[in-house]
Copies of this chain bind each other. A is one copy, B any other.
Amino acid sequence: MAKIDPLSGFPEFLPAGRVVERGVIDALASTFELHGFANIETRVVEPLDRLAKGGEIDKEIYLLNRLSADGPDDSASGRGALGMHFDLTVPLARYVVENAGHLTFPFRRYQIQPAWRGERPQEGRFRQFTQADVDIIGVDHLPFHHDVEVVTVMVEALARLPLPPLTLCFNNRKLIQGYLEGIGVEDIPSTLKMLDKLDKVDRSEVVRLLVEQVGLDERTAGRALELATISSADESFVDQVRALGVRSELLDTGLEELRAVISASRSVTTENVRVVADLRIARGLDYYTGTVVEIYMQGFEHLKAVGGGGRYDALATDGKTTYPGVGISFGVSRSVVPLVARGLLSSTRPVPSAVLVALVSEEERQASVDLAHQLRARGIACEVAPAPTPFGKQIRFADRRSIPFVAFPSVGGGAPQVKDIRSGVQVDLDPGSWVPPEGDLRPTIVASFEGLSLES
């Protein structure tokens, strides 16, 4: 095995980076569970005909083939072919239909797993990446208050993460559709597609596209754009939209839904997580039917959204029953990998051990093993020094791993001792009662965003 280079697009963490990733995952999971969302994991593969729907994403699907196809029941290609899931929504839809008889609805689930896309690797875009999805799925009908619920859960979860400031940008497809219908637009999907370009090209170019490619007259194109430029961090967007003078029942419903989402999520936002109504947000995917949201990370706008989601009135159907849903996905890899790679997120140490138990001699190893055992019995992670080198060398061994404490077993009848190797303070150690300070018990995440330009 010669020198090995990393595989582009398949990020892996060193142990310290993995501490960060797990910290983020654990914080998300524990908030989701506090809100009663059950965890599931789905297999990594789905039948190809469930994944490939003729869209752009098809090109990025990874197929699974056996190296040798002489086995039983092989899934080489065609109808039985298996592909790796490229998101967690397709597997959820399949899981819900497959297990509907065993689930209780509304089904509240979260799922934190990798997904795979064979796209060109770049910062924040990977071929294997971990996502955290939280969704509520109903049967036939899912009341709107679940939109508010999912949104507030995700805001609360994100507020606990050690990330640069995040902004959730909300819009509502009923609002957009109602408005566009109200000003006389017929081809809503094409119009949305053009409005979606507002983050890449300027307004006059979008007007030109709306006129030339969608066939709107100049005035209608201008009015369509007027909606897309409205944004507010509070409910004032409602009056701004009303001032445009368009009347439509669907617009009213959308406005009220977006107002409710903004109002409820504002009540749980923190300094680090902002919410705005941003009427430019459309989200390309045509299965959204109400609330839509995209999440941006300050200083990392070039990654585009680090999360998103919304309401879809038909997540899945088995022909008889339709399963509507609402959910938000957060890109764990997309946000965390760049932050760790740039050294903006790290951990206090790469190992769980709070204590290195020193070794007096190989013959006296059992004394060190016993002392470690006593500490572990009270939840203190520790390891025994690998070799009975001079204590100075054992302390350097701990220091290289940022293990804060070195414990010395009893020698010749004296009490065991423990040294804080940062301060050098060494005291007697009662193995039945000593505990390290709370902050030293486990490795924790260190965030240093000082060097980061946080202007958006």
Please report A residues at the B interface, Cβ cutoff 8 Å: 1-8, 10-15, 18-19, 21-22, 33-45, 47-48, 50, 52, 58-68, 70-74, 82-84, 93-95, 97-99, 102-104, 106, 108-109, 114, 116, 118-120, 128, 143, 145-146, 149, 316-319, 350-353, 362, 365, 376, 379-384, 386-387, 400-401
Contacts and interface: CB of A to CB of B under 8 A. Distances in A.
Given A61-B68, A62-B67, A72-B120, 10 more contacts: A1-B318, A2-B319, A6-B98, A12-B41, A15-B39, A34-B380, A36-B381, A37-B352, A60-B67, A149-B384
Given A22-B39, A58-B68, A59-B66, A318 B2 contact: yes
A150 to B, nearest CB: 12
Given A73-B120, A84-B64, A382 B36 contact: yes
A42 B12 contact: yes
A40 B67 contact: no
B128 A44 contact: yes
Contacts of A380: 34
A8 to B, nearest CB: 7
Contact of A61 (B2, B48, B67, B381): B67
A50 B7 CA distance: 13
Nearest 3 A/B pairs, CB to CB: A36-B383, A36-B353, A33-B352
Contacts of A13: 40-41
Nearest to A136: B386
B62 A65 contact: yes
Contacts of A382: 34-36
Contacts of A350: 38, 104
Listed residue (A58, A70, A106, A149) with the most chain B CB atoms within 10 angstroms of its CB: A149
Nearest to A77: B65
A268 to B, nearest CB: 8
Contacts of A38: 15, 18, 350-352
A112 to B, nearest CB: 11
A382 B74 CA distance: 45
A139 B330 CA distance: 39
A4 B98 contact: yes
A103 B10 CA distance: 19
B52 A67 contact: yes
B71 A67 contact: no
A59 B65 contact: no
A65 B63 contact: yes
B40 A108 contact: no
Nearest to A43: B10
A126 to B, nearest CB: 9
